[in-house]
């Protein structure tokens, strides 16, 4: 799967952003508690851009993919906003951070294309109602005639007598 990820433009752009954020983070003095805290947040959000792509691609279910997409969106938006915190705490290299914002905008456009490719027919009903395909309600009944879904899988797993 990793080879497939490396071929994805979205994943590659996420790696570019991570590398850039890492270089900027290296300029932050760890003795400055406020900037060091911001640095940690920036790095976490930069890692999310690739980690959640891997999660979404591995799961392949619409609802799981959308959940990961929402986390990615939040991380991308946060990455664009850290420039304000860096300026507020007198970080001397905020001009470099403008490059991160530009890369995140490029990432966002690739993200939109990636979302458009999600298979809306491959889902499990999200009972919270956030990540269902259009027309699917969290109150819909489960079609237990589907060979791919066993609503009693946990009971079957826990009561496995093969041990």
Checking if the pLDDT of 151 tops 80, the result is no
**Other beta carbons within 10 Å of 21:** 26
What CATH number has the domain bearing residue 112?
1.20.1440.60
- The boundaries of the domain holding residue 63 are 2-116
Residue 77 lies in a domain: yes
Residue 122 lies in a domain: no
Nearest to 70 by CA among 123, 115, 100: 115
DSSP state of 106: H
> CA–CA separation, 142 vs 139, rounded Å?
9
Residue 137 lies in a domain: no
> CA–CA separation, 109 vs 122, rounded Å?
24
Look at the chain and report how many structural domains it folds into: 1
Q: Which residues contact 88 (CB under 8 A, 6 or more apart)?
A: none
Residue 98 lies in a domain: yes
Query: pTM for this structure?
Result: 0.83
pLDDT, tens only, 79-128: 999 999 999 999 999 999 999 999 999 999 999 999 999 999 999 999 99
């Amino acid at each position: 799967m990793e080879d497939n990820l490396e071929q994805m433009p979205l994943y590659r752009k996420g790696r570019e952003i991570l590398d850039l954020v890492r270089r900027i983070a290296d300029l932050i003095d760890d003795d400055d508690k406020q900037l060091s805290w911001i640095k940690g947040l920036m790095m976490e959000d930069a890692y999310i851009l690739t980690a959640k792509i891997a999660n979404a691609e591995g799961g392949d279910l619409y609802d799981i993919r959308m959940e990961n997409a929402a986390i990615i969106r939040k991380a991308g938006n946060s990455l664009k906003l850290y420039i304000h915190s860096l300026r507020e705490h007198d970080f001397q290299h905020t001009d470099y951070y403008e490059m991160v914002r530009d890369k995140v905008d490029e990432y966002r456009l690739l993200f939109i294309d990636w979302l458009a490719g999600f298979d809306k027919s491959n889902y499990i009903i999200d009972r919270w109602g956030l990540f269902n395909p259009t027309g699917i309600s969290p109150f819909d009944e489960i079609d237990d005639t589907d060979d791919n879904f066993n609503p009693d899988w946990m009971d079957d797993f826990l009561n496995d007598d093969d041990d």
